[in-house]
Structure 1
Amino acid sequence: MFVLIVRKDFAPESGPSAPVPTTKQSILVAALALAVGLEAAAAQDADLDDGGNLDLPEISVTANLVETPLSQVGSAVTVITGEELREQQIKFVSEALRQVPGLAVSRTGPLGQLTQVRIRGSEGNQTKVFIDGIPVNDPAAGSEFDFAHLLADDIERIEVLRGPQSALYGSDAVGGVINVVTRRGEGRTRAAARVEGGSFGTLNGNASVSGGTDRYNFIASASGFQTEGISVASTRLGNKEKDGYGNGTVFAKAGYNLTDTFDLSAVVRYTTSRSDLDAETFYPQYGHTGPVDALQDVKGEQFFTRAQARLLLLDGHWEQIAGFAYTDQDRTYRDLDPRMVTSTYDGERARFDYQSTFFFDTPQFLDASHAATFAVEHDEDKAISKNVWSSFEKSIGTTGFVGQYQVSLFEDLSLTGSIRRDDNELFKDSTTYRATAAYFLKESGTKLRGSYGTGVKNPTLFELYGYTNNYRGNPNLKPERGEGWDIGIDQQIFGGGILDITYFSQRITDLITGAGQTSINLPGSSKIDGVELGLSVSPITNLTLRASYTYMNGEDADGRTLVRRPKNLASIDVSYILLDDRAQLNLSVDYVSKQKDWVYSADYNERYIVDLNAYTLVNLAASYQINDGLQLYGRLENILDEKYYEVWGYGTLGFGGYAGVRLTF
């Protein structure tokens, strides 16, 4: 068992000399070496598997704090498997999230630029994000997680839980939760590698080693992504300079069962990135600001780690989990001509958590199964901001107490109730709650479900105390509050498929929004209503069809349409296996309807709404398995060569082609 808790001492500077390793990098090398050493020592005892991938049952690990069969989950939840990611050759998690009902993705330019995800019309910082149980929302970036740098390599499962979830997960979960789970090692030790190249000077690859037995499991992985890119500021505005992006990610994950009832596990993940940037200027012909070519960049580091112990008592009826997680996310913004640092941001979070769940049955009373959970979490968040105008360093501590009760009656009806109390050092203590119900009719394969929940989103440290040339913090901001409900039906259809339909309604009170050069709480409530459809079916042998559609209507308290929330979102993904299961074709189509966006006056004291046109993206992927250890693959992206904006004035990738090879040993 190893626990990795370190802080960054210094960041390597770019230049002709070799970079000096940071403390984080040295620790990560040691972690990877430890995982490889564990593999070498135990390889002879490992068992063969069917391909080295974790085959999870149909459960949710996010909806109710403990593993719950999907048939008993009353909330709206979508599961994306690692197999689906590989079929579509998806390289960034944000691209997969575009296909989830109720989710809108906005990227401020090409790859490597700020990428926001909004669930059911909520703001990007109202989405709680976990990676391997680590809460990764950045205290120094508006308590939001930037999906720009999260690569899809070695991911086994992504769960998206929609609707207010603060009763389970506290602040930041007003819109919902995204939980990313990486795979764990299984079977005899195996090594895998891939390399890929293509349009826009893009080169990327991954290498991993993994294995496991009933006693232990491990995986160590390294990924790299590099592209010359396109201009961040759209070429349609006359900008021509290419803006590149680079990403290097390593992670190690291991678990060990000391006894049949006590196990230890740990994970560590480190990402370093550099993104070229462009600046903002005033375009007289449009009457508002927009991006323009500039010699600027941002260097970033993300360090995530978690260690936990799990104990089962009373013949497995009492489960206890204790863990510690730590995150450190740094960003350094620079002007490159002349070279100078203009601002830095450092967000840190340390979390201690304990969860206790008691499982018991009452067969003589309603033939019921019960699960009672108590959890306590303590977070210490810190944000450090330094720029040429000012600097601040602020910290905040929060302790949350959670109680949840689940009951399944007659194997058909499942009910859940949750309540949470958050004690906060800066704001008034808050209480949130949630209730869900699911009724499963086995004969028809029908699940009826519904949920209601409340949420809270505390003002971010930057909203309270931030200061730049065009922003002044407002220490009088109040927490945002939300409530939402949904009802839905999941219907099993031919070919083992599922059709799901959901109607949802959400309200957010005291929504924090920009006003001039500061932030304010909007009076009244913003409202978002909509319908979500999902389909997964195999109508014939070797053919799989997945589709989703969302209609969403979001307005603020004054009746104005919320920005970057398209009313209509749709996606179709078709996968076909042929040539004796050696080849696979995949076609995906994503549609985004018209939407609104913000732009600003020259002095940033006023902002205006502009319209963004609808667009459709079509991608085609193919792979061929030459033998058990060698696969060739390739894909075409944006086949229609759409010209579009996700954020006004920021460039998007046109038609591109990519090809690669994957090896397994």
Structure 2
Amino acid sequence: MYSKYTFYSIGNIIRSLKAYNLNKVIGLLLLTILSSSNIFAQTDTSKNNSQMLKEVTVNSQRKKIYSAPGRVISVITANEIKNMPVHTVQDLLESVSSVDIRTRGENGVQADVSIRGGSFDQVLILLNGINVTDPQTGHHNLNLPVNLDDIDRIEILQGPGTRILGPNAFTGAVNIVTGEKKTKKLQASLAGGENGYLLGSVSAFYHKKELSIGSSANYSRSDGYIHNTDFNLGNYFLQMQYENAKAGKVNFQGGFQNKSFGANSFYSPAFKEQYEHTRTIFSSLQWNKNYEKLIVDASFYWRRNYDRYELIKNSSFGRNFHRTDVLGGQAKLSYFSQIGKTTVGVDYSNQQIVSTVLGVTLNNPSEVDFGSDISPIPQYVKGDNRNVLNTFIDHTIIVGALSLSGGLLNSWNEDYGSHWQGGADASYRITSDWQAFAGINQSMRLPTFTDLYYRGPDYAANNNLVPETALSYEAGVKYDRSKFGGSLSVYQRNGKDIIDWIKPPDSVKWQSSNISKVNTTGLELSVNYKPATSFIKRAQFELTWQKTDKDTKNYTSMYDLSFLRFKSEFILDHAIVKNLIASWRISYQQRAGNYKDFNTKAVVDYNPFTLLDLRLMYTLSNYAVFVESSNLFNTTYYDFGNLQQPGRWMKAGVKFRL
């Protein structure tokens, strides 16, 4: 049931955590899992397996991100979103302890998302199950044209998901789900605050019989919290669904985002006048049909992202233009039988970039079609194009209280050939409340076009990079009972050929390179209490601890060594008086690594810090008024070296709903 390699890995985890006095906890966890295998040997397997298979069917529909048993999936619900003192998806994700959000620009301008100590290019981003990850760079992965009021929930897969979701789900994946509420509504909100902050949004949802239509638009802007951090951001999103018993379910979604911002010290502290303007267009068409024992899914999608970057605003020096297009489709069949659920699928995508600097020289250059206010109009003279074909099979079986899932994916493209990735997950329901789980999974990621081609005053890319791979082990327990829930898990990821930007001792430039070995060990704990009483609405505590062993060979690392060593999150929603709710969020973060201070030239370690956010919201039937503050203690902190994050930021607003 469990391979010797799984137990060998858990032993390594215990030994590596020994110095931190956590081996008693891990030992108990391992004992629980081993005990569960003995319990299984005595379990009565004559239970009605069809009922268990029905449960899997329901779960596979409810959770689009990953339906295999025994995985840690954090879910942020719509009710939790409406109380939190946040305005963007990146701020929502920050509330999960295993997620590291390194922010360059606030309020949705730019943030890098990583999971379990990985890099920002190792997380797959999905919108209603459709891949919206950017092949140019992970810096653009959160260019999402959705309004917070559109979101029904956000699912975060903590750990690798390559065998089902594809190559970029290296350390985890994020799925944003919209359009599930089937009620008519019209709502609008207006908020303002310090630093010239303004946010206006409107959304409408119509549902009648078999047809649902949702649409939203929002605009936000700010003068910036320090010099050249101003921004203007606009989003538009449309979703239409048609569903009946004969035709199945058809879902169309499309969105548009336009964003321009001052990028003070974003990519180099030597340049305070950097500027960036991005434009993202996205659409997809999905079809789902349930034929009792067979579920058929098919989808087609297209995403285009424009990126205009200026090292010095309004100057041709260091000015770059890029356009990426991703066109793809997926077909998937899931069949339920007495031996479980079998899923087979194929996913194809064409990833293309044209650029002034990224790629190989084009035979037929074309005029830049974004930012053409410049005269003479610049040309896309570089580019690249790759086809990626993924085929996979996965099977889940339930025998009594034991659930087993395993699968295999083959990823092929013309540049790197064929790569096989597999894995298996197991879970055992000890009691109605307790569940033990374990898993072993491979993962891989293709280099981005920036990894392969970017060159600048401080950067020199390597176009001979190879895909990075990893083998991950995980084990843990979950508890779920009425008002209480929680989980404890330990994991180890052994990475090979990990892609990072490094600076050798004798070099003045950062170079993209494959690092031979990067091993990450970690522990996650989550406890939540949702009594739904008149006073306490929700109390949640999470923490993540991890360490990384890296074969650096005295090189300086830009990303992989600056991971979150420790992070804890505490969220409390409670009533003050009738209709008045307070939402508190306290975050403590301790980041590994260091950076060179631009002014003093000294090497500086990242200092740990504590942040407190608070929202007070008064709600009646059709409207709500709120006042909030992020970073209430006015703490000075850094996500990236030399780029100070905002201090205390007060905001207030009103929401209407009809």
TM-score range, shorter chain: 0.7 to 0.9
1:468 Cα deviation after fit: 2.9
Shift in Å, 1:61: 5.9
Give the CA deviation at 1:470.
3.3
What SS does the aligned partner of 2:640 have? coil
Residue 121 of structure 1: CA displacement? 1.1
Match of 1:290 in 2: 269
Q: Percent identity?
A: 18
Alpha-carbon shift at residue 192 of structure 1 (Å): 0.6
- Say if 1:474 and 1:163 are closer, same or farther in 2 by CA, change over 3 A: same
The separation in 2 between residues aligned to 1:148 and 1:654, in whole angstroms, is 25
Sort the Cα spacing of 1:265 and 1:502 in 2 relative to 1 into closer, same or farther, 3 A: same
Q: Which runs of 5+ in 2 are unaligned?
A: 1-56, 358-377, 504-508
Cα offset, 1:528, TM superposition? 0.6
Quick one: which amino acid aligns to residue 647 of structure 1?
F
Classify the secondary structure of the residue corresponding to 1:84.
helix
What is the identity, as a one-letter code, of the residue corresponding to 1:464?
A: L
TM-superposed CA distance for 1:183, in Å, is: 3.2
Three-state SS of the structure 2 residue aligned to 1:429 is strand
> Is the contact made by 1:190 and 1:211 (CA closer than 8 Å) also made in structure 2?
yes
Distance in 2 between residues matched to 1:547 and 1:614, nearest whole Å: 19
Are 1:457 and 2:441 counterparts?
Answer: no
The equivalent residue for 1:496 is: 483
For 1:661, the equivalent position in structure 2 comes to 654
Give the Cα separation in 1 of the matches to 2:500 and 2:602.
13
The equivalent of 2:526 in structure 1 is 534
> Which residue is equivalent to 1:378?
348
2:391–2:409: 8 Å Cα contact kept in structure 1? yes
Question: Could you report, residue by residue, the CA deviation over 1:449-479 in whole angstroms, capped at 9, with x for unpaired residues?
Answer: 1121101112222322333333333222111
Aligned residue number for residue 508 of structure 1: 495
Q: CA deviation at 1:506?
A: 0.5
Deviation track 1:626-654 (CA, whole Å, cap 9, x = no partner) reads: 3x212111112211100111111112111
Name stretches of at least 5 consecutive residues in structure 1 with no aligned partner.
1-56, 232-240, 282-288, 363-367
Give the CA deviation at 1:170.
2.0
* CA deviation after TM superposition for structure 1 residue 518, in Å: 5.9
Q: 1:486 to 1:609 in 2, by over 3 A?
A: farther
Distance change >3 Å, CA 378–CA 203, structure 1 → 2: same
Match of 1:308 among 279, 282, 286: 286
* TM-superposed deviation, 1:564: 2.4
Alignment-derived partner of residue 39 in structure 1: none
Correspondent of 2:323 among 346, 352, 355: 346
Distance, in Å, in 1 between the alignment partners of 2:253 and 2:379 is: 38
CA contact (8 A) 1:97 1:103 kept: yes
Q: Does 1:275 align with 2:261?
A: yes
Residue of structure 1 equivalent to 2:626? 633
The answer for the alignment partner of 2:95 in structure 1 is: 99
1:97-134 CA deviation, whole Å, 9 max, x = no partner?
A: 12213221111254454311111111110111111222
Q: Which is worse superposed, 477-486 or 459-468?
A: 459-468
Cα 1:310/1:492, change in 2 over 3 Å: closer
Letter in 1 for 2:625: L
Per-residue displacement from partner, 1:63-121 (whole Å, max 9, x unpaired)?
Answer: 7867x4xxx72111111112111111321111121221322111125445431111111
Q: CA deviation at 1:537?
A: 0.5
> How many Å separate the matches in 2 of 1:139 and 1:455?
17
Displacement of 1:159: 0.7
Which of 149, 153, 156 does residue 152 from structure 2 map onto? 156
1:405 maps to what in 2? Answer: 395
Q: Is the 8 A contact 2:500 2:515 kept in 1?
A: no
Q: Using a 3 Å threshold, how does the CA distance of structure 1 residues 351 and 91 change in structure 2: closer, same or farther?
A: same
Measure, in 1, the Cα distance between the counterparts of 2:180 and 2:475: 35
Distance change (3 Å), C-alpha of 1:340 and 1:258: farther
> Does the residue aligned with 1:222 lie in a helix, a strand or coil?
strand
Q: Is the 8 A contact 2:192 2:199 kept in 1?
A: yes
Alpha-carbon RMSD: 2.8
Counterparts of 2:129 and 2:609, CA distance in 1: 35
Are the structure 2 counterparts of residues 637 and 473 from structure 1 closer, same or farther at C-alpha, using a change threshold of 3 Å? Answer: closer
User: 1:545 and 1:280, CA in 2 relative to 1: closer, same or farther beyond 3 A?
Assistant: closer
Letter in 1 for 2:114: R
**Distance (whole Å) between structure 1 residues aligned to residue 641 and residue 632 of structure 2:** 22
CA distance in 2, matches of 1:635, 1:623: 8
- Distance (whole Å) between structure 1 residues aligned to residue 309 and residue 224 of structure 2: 19
| Aligned pairs (5 A) from 1:160-171 | 160-171=156-167
Give the alignment of 1:427-576 within 5 angstroms: 427-443=416-432, 445-492=433-480, 496-516=483-503, 517=509, 519-538=511-530, 541-542=533-534, 543=536, 544-558=538-552, 562-576=560-574
Q: 1:414 aligns with which of 391, 394, 403?
A: 403
1:333-377 deviation per Cα after TM superposition (whole angstroms, max 9, x unaligned): 2344458881111111011110111112x3xxxxx6x11111001
Task: Report the secondary structure of 2:548's partner residue.
Answer: strand
Displacement of 1:146: 4.0
Equivalent residue number for residue 650 of structure 1? 643
CA distance in 1, matches of 2:188, 2:301: 29
Aligned length: 569
Of the candidates 360, 384, 404, which is equivalent to residue 394 of structure 1?
A: 384
